[in-house]
Amino acid sequence: NPLLLAAVLLLAVLFAFIYFAGAGSYFQDPLFCVFVVFSFVSAVDLTISLEEDGFISGFTEVYVREGEPYLRTAHGIMICYWDGIVHYGLYLAMITAMSQRKSYRSLGLFWLGSLVMSILVFLLGNLIGKYSSDISAAFLLNLPYVLIPIWAGRRLFQQPRAVPHLTAEQIEQEQRRWLHQRPHDLALVLVLLLMASFTFFRGMVVLDCPADSCFEYIYQHEPYLRDPVAYPKVQMLIYLFYVLPFLCLCIYALLRPGCSWLPDWSLVFAGAIAQAQFSHLGSSLHARTPFPYQTPEDVWWSFLITNVLYALGPQLLALRCLHSPTFFLPTAPSSLQGGKKHQ
């Protein structure tokens, strides 16, 4: 395949350039190699999406048609756009942070959630959707996207977390405040409750709940949920069985102090929902989606507002945890305990 050969040669040239340009020292962090390779794949994905939307031609048509025809779906085009723009930007930002010896842990966790959500929906949709009979050997090219995030996520969580320098008294004072004394957290709890309700409702919709409200919603508001490509159904089921319990845990963490796991996992959660909502929203409106499954024009604004707000909630939660993590710190951090032992 000429395209595959050109990709391998270009990748080899890219590695050689990086190494001889003086970046060889960065190979001490194996994630550097991962980000370089994945950034190259992101550029290929952006090329695929641009060609499928008619902006360019003659680059990836043969590969997509013969190797991975499911990339020609609206969902395939949307995940290629996300990978070629957002993931590519994250790779460059993380490589830059490495070069400046700065922490890229937060960016990495956001990327991790985004990548895992993207590959889960994509692979499951391919396996059970209408393109399941078109799966070929090229499908194995997605295998690294299943294995590498597991290894990369482990390394990212092992990196030291930035902890504010606070005394035990300051932490205790912040954690004594009730929810009504923390208006931002109160608003977040309400947002997460609304998200949980909407998540449960859409889960019931794709599970063919016989209620009139579910029937009306799937035919008049989000007919894309009926698309036989199965990506939207898989997405809603992941929301129902995984995102909904996590939303409940987030509400619990905003009520009970000392849940130190939330700042990290809120970043993973924010990346996952941002990617999922971009792909779902874009696919619902994309011309490549068959007309019966496209969002009706008379409900465009309500559909856009609902889904944008759904994507915004986790981003606000992650920002709250990043900028003011005191409420989630352990009451007696190990650093303080160590300091008392030395006194």
**Poorest-confidence range of 46-50, 163-167, 231-235, 313-317?**
163-167
- Structure-model confidence comparison of residues 147 and 6, the more confident one: 147
| 3-class SS of residue 313 | helix
Question: Are residue 149 and residue 212 in the same domain, yes or no?
Answer: no
Question: Are residue 110 and residue 251 in the same domain, yes or no?
Answer: no
Q: Residue 338 domain-assigned?
A: no
Q: Which domain holds residue 11?
A: 2-158
Question: In the listed set 107, 135, 158, which residue is the last one of a domain according to the structure?
Answer: 158
Q: Residue 335 domain-assigned?
A: no
pTM for the predicted model, two decimal places: 0.89
Question: Are residue 43 and residue 141 in the same domain, yes or no?
Answer: yes
Q: Residue 334 domain-assigned?
A: no
pLDDT digits (tens, 9 = 90+) for 215-251: 999 999 999 999 999 999 999 999 999 999 999 999 9
Q: Residue 163 domain-assigned?
A: no
Q: Residue 95 domain-assigned?
A: yes
| Band of pLDDT at residue 312, cut at 50, 70 and 90 | very high
The pLDDT, as a whole number, for residue 337 is: 44
The pLDDT, as a whole number, for residue 165 is: 78
**Poorest-confidence range of 8-17, 88-97, 161-170, 269-278?**
8-17
Question: Are residue 246 and residue 268 in the same domain, yes or no?
Answer: yes
Q: Residue 199 domain-assigned?
A: yes
Helix ranges (H only) for the chain are 2-20, 30-52, 61-66, 74-82, 88-99, 105-128, 144-158, 168-175, 183-206, 212-220, 231-238, 244-255, 262-285, 300-323, 334-342
Question: In the listed set 103, 128, 158, which residue is the last one of a domain according to the structure?
Answer: 158
Question: Are residue 131 and residue 231 in the same domain, yes or no?
Answer: no
Question: Are residue 218 and residue 128 in the same domain, yes or no?
Answer: no
Domain count, the chain: 2
Question: Are residue 174 and residue 251 in the same domain, yes or no?
Answer: yes
Question: Are residue 183 and residue 139 in the same domain, yes or no?
Answer: no
Question: Are residue 129 and residue 224 in the same domain, yes or no?
Answer: no
Q: What average pLDDT score do residues 37-64 get?
A: 87
Share of the chain above pLDDT 90, in %: 60
Residue 30: pLDDT above 60? yes
Question: Are residue 206 and residue 320 in the same domain, yes or no?
Answer: yes
Question: Are residue 219 and residue 144 in the same domain, yes or no?
Answer: no
- Taking phi first (over 0 means left), then psi (-120 to 50 degrees means alpha), and beta for anything else, what does residue 177 get? beta
pLDDT digits (tens, 9 = 90+) for 204-219: 999 999 999 999 999 9
| Band of pLDDT at residue 333, cut at 50, 70 and 90 | very low
Question: In the listed set 158, 179, 195, which residue is the last one of a domain according to the structure?
Answer: 158
Q: What average pLDDT score do residues 56-77 get?
A: 86
Question: Are residue 290 and residue 189 in the same domain, yes or no?
Answer: yes
